[in-house]
Amino acid sequence: MDPSTDSGSSAEMREGRAPYGRNWPELLAKHGVCKETLQIFRRDILAFYRTKGRQFSWRSEISPYRVLVSEIMLQQTQTGRVEEKFRAFVDSFPGFQELAAADFSEVLRLWKGLGYNRRAKYLHDIARTVVDEFDSVLPDDPQVLVRFSGIGKATAASICVFAFNTPYPFIETNIRTVFIHFFFADQIDIADAEIMALVEQTMDRNNPRDWFYALMDYGVMLKKTVGNLSRKSSGYRKQSRFEGSNRQLRGRILDLLLQRSRLDAKTLAALLDQSEHRTAPLLSTLVSEGLLVEEEGCYRLS
């Protein structure tokens, strides 16, 4: 049951074969999910990572701060776009204290192009919390991190894995793709709870950082060869159209206030070529989220 050293092709991947020529569905049908099967799974994933693992700035120089920035940036954003922005961001704000001391407009200016601008506010708020309440040291407990702005359970666990190399199971889109491909190939409507059980069983507790890097990189390869298997997940939701959406208008409002500093609601609507009826609730939401401040009918960045 040792792995073959023969390289697999894209056709083999589509047929359910893993790299190294292994017919995984046949292996799983014969032996089921047992200790030996899971060992082979781990070996195949790690063998792929050793030769084809991706390189990123946040992986080559690891610190809790750099991991936090990268994990917030990577939420719903492709790695290529993050790589471009990450270096400039950490050059300008090399640590929690520098980020916490910056004006939000400076943070947003460097964030521009990543989208989902609430994340810039979350990151800014997190830095201030870490400085003010934790003496500039990022907590290494997911139960603490999950209370921070913009950090859910999966992100809290991933931060602890990558920043501190501590074993906490989590699922994101690429990890989900790997486990669906190997263990749920003939199923649909797969719940994350089913996947999480296997994530916990296969997790490397001595070096979880490299193990989860390996899973994520393998998932990226699968998406290029077999497509987006996350569509088979019970939690899959198709992303809504961006062009003409409220999300696009929110971004345009923030861009205008980066340029003009302060604008009233009527002028904002005119510059956006939209009615005040359309822009008013967006402005109200941006204020409630802490991205904007309203003063005597005028708006500015917080």
Active-site residue list: 71
The dihedral sign for the CA sequence 185, 188, 194, 200: positive
**CB atoms near residue 281 (< 10 Å):** 10
**SS3 label, residue 27:** helix
Dist CA 89 CA 58 (whole Å): 12
**Segment (H or E) for 294:** strand 292-295
In the β-sheet with 263-264, what is the strand arrangement from edge to edge? Answer: 263-264, 298-301, 292-295
**Segment (H or E) for 292:** strand 292-295
According to DSSP, the residues that pair with 294 across neighbouring strands are: 299
User: Tokens representing 135?
Assistant: 């003496």
According to DSSP, the residues that pair with 293 across neighbouring strands are: 300
**Segment (H or E) for 264:** strand 263-264
